[in-house]
Copies of this chain bind each other. A is one copy, B any other.
Amino acid sequence: MAVAKAKVTAATDPSVITNKLEEDIALGRILPRERLIEEELALRFGVNRHVIRQVLMELETIGLIIRQKNKGATVRDLLPEDVINIYAVRELLEGKAAELIEMPAKPEVVARLKDIQERHAKAAEAGELTNVFRLNLLFHKTFFAACGNPHLADAIQHFALKAHIARSLTVGDPKLLRRAVEEHAEIVRYLETADRANLVRLAVEHIIPSKDAYLESYRRRFGE
C-alpha cells in the first residue's frame, strides 16, 4: 500500500475504519486495482484482522472493493460504463429527493447547511482535501436527509459512496472544487427562497461535472 502515514492509531470501531478507507479511496490514496491486505490494515489501524475482515465486507457491499475467495481484496476499477450507470441512478434519486424536500425548509436545517457550506468553502480555499471530502459528504447527507424519506436518503448516500472511486481521479481539481462550493451556496439560497424548480435542476446538475471529469480523464488515459 502506498499510504504514507501508516501510524498505528487504535480505532476500535469498525465503522471508523470503514470511513477512513472510504476516504483513502475517494482521495486517491489507494488506487483502483490496488490490493488491500488484511494484516497490513490490521497493523495500521491497531486492530485484530478479524475487524478488518468485517470492514472489507462492508466495503464490498458498498461496491468500493472486490473480494475474491482466497485471493484477497482490490479496489474496484470502474469502467466508464459503470460510472455512467451509477450517475444515472444518482440523478434519478437525487432529483426525486429534491422534489420531496419540504419548502420552505426548516430554519435549523438551513442554518446547519450554511454552517457546513462555509466550513467546506474554507477547507477548499486552504486546500485541506481531507476536510473538503468530509464536509462535502456531510453537506449532501444533511441536505438529502431533509427529503423526509430516510430510505431514499440512504440509497442516495449509498450511491454517492459508490461514485467515490470515480471521483478519486479528479478530486483536488481547483476548478471543480470552486464550482462545487458555489453550487452548495446556491442550493442553500434556493432552499431559503423556496425555489423548487431551480433546486431540483441544480440538485441534478450539481453532480454532473465530476462524472464528466472522470470520463474525460479516462479518455485521456486510454484513448477513445
Contacts and interface: CB of A to CB of B under 8 A. Distances in A.
Interface in A69-94: 82, 85-86, 88-89, 92-93
A203 to B, nearest CB: 14
Given A61-B61, A155-B155, A89 B54 contact: no
A92 B88 contact: no
Contacts of A151: 82, 85-86, 88-89, 159, 162
A78 to B, nearest CB: 10
B57 A149 contact: no
A85 B154 CA distance: 11
A155 B156 CA distance: 11
Contacts of A152: 85, 88-89
Contacts of A159: 151, 155
A16 to B, nearest CB: 14
Residue of A82, A89, A162 with most chain B CB atoms under a 10 A cut-off? A89
Contacts of A149: 85, 88-89
A150 interface: yes
A92 B159 CA distance: 15
Interface of A: 54, 57-58, 61, 82, 85-86, 88-89, 92-93, 96, 149-152, 155, 158-159, 162
11 contacts: A61-B61, A85-B150, A85-B151, A88-B151, A89-B93, A89-B151, A92-B92, A92-B93, A92-B96, A151-B159, A155-B159
